[in-house]
Amino acid sequence: MAESVLILTEDEELLDDLLRLCAAAGAQTEVLHGTPVDSEQWQRAPLVLAGDDWAARQQTGRPPDRRAGVLLVGRDPDDHSIWARGVALGAEQVLQLPGDEAWLADRIADSAEDGGGPALTLGVLGGRGGAGASTLACALAVTAARDGQRTMLIDSDPLGGGLDVLLGAERTPGLRWPAFASSRGRLPAAALEESLPRLRRLSLLSWDRGDAAGAVPLPRDAMRSVLAAARRRGGAVVLDLPRTLGEASAEALAHVDLGLLVVPAELRAVAAARRVVESSGALLRDLRVVARGPGSGALDGEAIGRLLGLPLAGELPDEPGLPAAADTGEPPGADPSGPLAEFCSALLHRALPGRGVAA
């Protein structure tokens, strides 16, 4: 259960505004009227809404220990001295109502969702067609979920045939991308997760197989809303990315913490991958190579990384029986002792501690 938002003010009008915004966001509140805040209350709250009247009184005493998630809120936009009080308090933001009400409402709603965010977001790209990017994306998601991470797998390639097929989930009930195509602004994270098909302990957002699937480009706003909501839930978000760059895929790339470029160990694949690096790779903060399959001669993973000017995330050997398993509805990575699952488990172990990306 989420902890309560802590409200510190004796200004009745400001208190009414803050309680109204918290109620609209579904956030529980704890209000202190003239009572000194103790260190446990101060540190436990996911968000502290400090009224400017309360902050002014702290100038005569010892201010609370600095912490993240403190917002200083006032009601007089002409009072520029509020900024000095914000600095003294160590506030994350200084806000004035009613002008900053929309921003504050979103921030309160984020704190009320009790996520473990922000999620580590992994994006998987194919160096060429048929490189195995979708297979690796599915295996990463299956492995993360099996290891106990809250996991969402997102198919951002409308022409890829649908990840639900690869996972054997095409008949699993839940919403697909067309239901979110008109999304704009803030999307409730819990509602998104609950609306999606769920299998093997992960949530899946894929495409349907309607006649118009992929015919109309997905709007950038829809991708932004979905990914922002997915990341607020914490854990791991895995994106299967298209090789072609459009508005929605460019937006997706901007959210990726670690990009993985799957490149078969062959010269033609390296040549094709170079084009992907020059386009999509330029939008990624961290892009690494996954070399797939045994190479011929000197073309191993290190060589592929050098040719592309990218660090090597690892070498992924082929897994016997993977196509046959897919025909029976067994998704990639389902066998925890297989080379694909072992590769994913090692990569996630390096990437997920502290929800940061390993160097």
Largest CA distance in the chain: 76
What is the secondary structure of 302-359 as a DSSP string? HHHHHHHT--EEEEE---TTHHHHHHTT--TT-STTSHHHHHHHHHHHHH-GGG----
pLDDT tens-place string over residues 263-279 = 999 999 999 999 999 99
In the structure, what pLDDT confidence band is assigned to residue 357 with cuts at 50, 70 and 90? very low
In the structure, what pLDDT confidence band is assigned to residue 351 with cuts at 50, 70 and 90? confident
Amino acid 267: pLDDT: 92
Q: What share of the chain is helix, strand, coil (3-state, %, to 5)?
A: 40, 15, 40
Closest alpha carbon to 112 in 14, 214, 33, 5:
5
In the structure, what pLDDT confidence band is assigned to residue 83 with cuts at 50, 70 and 90? very high
- Measured between its terminal Cα atoms, the distance across the chain in Å is 34
Q: What is the pTM of this model?
A: 0.75
CA atoms within 13 A on the CB side of 330: 12
- How far, in Å, CA of 38 to CA of 243, rounded? 54
CA atoms within 13 A on the CB side of 244: 6
What is the mean pLDDT of the segment spanning 213-236? Answer: 84
Amino acid 355: pLDDT: 42
What is the mean pLDDT of the segment spanning 221-247? Answer: 91
In the structure, what pLDDT confidence band is assigned to residue 204 with cuts at 50, 70 and 90? very high
> How many angstroms separate the Cα of 322 from the Cα of each of 44, 145, 194, 297, 309?
48, 20, 30, 26, 30
Percentage above 90 pLDDT, the chain? 58
pLDDT tens-place string over residues 95-114 = 999 999 988 988 888 777 76
Amino acid 70: pLDDT: 94
pLDDT tens-place string over residues 31-82 = 987 778 888 889 989 899 999 999 998 866 666 888 888 999 999 999 999 9
CA atoms within 13 A on the CB side of 156: 36
Asked if the peptide bond before residue 118 counts as cis, ω within 30 degrees of 0, the response is yes
The answer to whether the CB of 214 falls within 8 A of the CB of 255 is: no
Amino acid 64: pLDDT: 80
What is the mean pLDDT of the segment spanning 218-246? Answer: 91
CA angle 353, 358, 359 (to 5 degrees): 155
For the chain, what is the mean pLDDT? 87
Sorted by sequence, the CB contacts under 8 Å of residue 31 that are 6+ apart come out as 7, 9, 15, 19
In the structure, what pLDDT confidence band is assigned to residue 359 with cuts at 50, 70 and 90? very low
pLDDT tens-place string over residues 292-350 = 987 555 689 999 999 999 999 999 988 888 877 777 778 999 999 999 999 999 999 88
Residue 354 has pLDDT above 80, yes or no: no
Amino acid 180: pLDDT: 92
What is the mean pLDDT of the segment spanning 189-209? Answer: 89
Lowest mean pLDDT among 6-15, 60-69, 224-233: 60-69
- How far, in Å, CA of 4 to CA of 19, rounded? 12
Amino acid 214: pLDDT: 53
